[in-house]
């Protein structure tokens, strides 16, 4: 199951490489698997299949085998045309750059929350144990 984001034609840059968009672009960024039905995804296939074979679900016998998750489970920062306030966001996906990348600022909505959660986690890790 995936969030079936609408197709938006644009070039996407990842680690300095331009990746042309395709029909199911960003669908694979969050997936829920029914493991017994995903027998084609063997370690050998995953390790040797092309980027497009994996991300365009070429390992399925038909596209109708892909179930749908509500959009709140894969909010695409900078791509979703509706504001995150329009629905109860459960998972945020930074598609252009994530706040975790050193020196990156201004990546979009939820950036402040990400930094707040990071500080809380770091404080918890660094706190002396009782």
Mean pLDDT, residues 77-106 taken together: 78
Give domain limits for the chain: 1-95, 97-130
pLDDT tier for residue 45 given thresholds of 50, 70 and 90: very high
74 neighbors 3 (Cβ within 8 angstroms): yes
| pLDDT digit string, tens, across residues 96-114 | 778 887 777 777 788 888 8
Mean pLDDT, residues 37-54 taken together: 91
pLDDT at 53: 92
pTM for the model: 0.75
Closest alpha carbon to 73 in 21, 123, 32, 128: 32
pLDDT at 113: 87
Cβ atoms within 10 Å of 105's Cβ, excluding its own: 9
């Amino acid at each position: 199951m995936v969030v079936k984001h609408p197709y938006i034609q644009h070039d996407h840059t990842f680690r300095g490489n331009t990746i042309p968009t395709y029909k199911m672009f960003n669908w694979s960024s969050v997936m829920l698997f029914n493991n017994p039905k995903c027998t084609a995804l063997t370690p050998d296939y995953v390790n040797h299949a092309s980027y497009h074979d994996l991300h365009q679900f070429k390992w399925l016998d038909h596209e109708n085998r892909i179930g749908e998750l509500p959009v709140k489970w894969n909010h695409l920062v900078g791509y979703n045309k509706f504001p995150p306030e329009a629905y109860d966001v459960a998972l945020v996906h930074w598609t252009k750059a994530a706040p975790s990348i050193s020196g990156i600022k201004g990546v979009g909505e939820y950036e402040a929350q990400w930094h707040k959660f990071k500080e809380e986690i770091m404080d918890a890790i660094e706190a002396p144990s009782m």
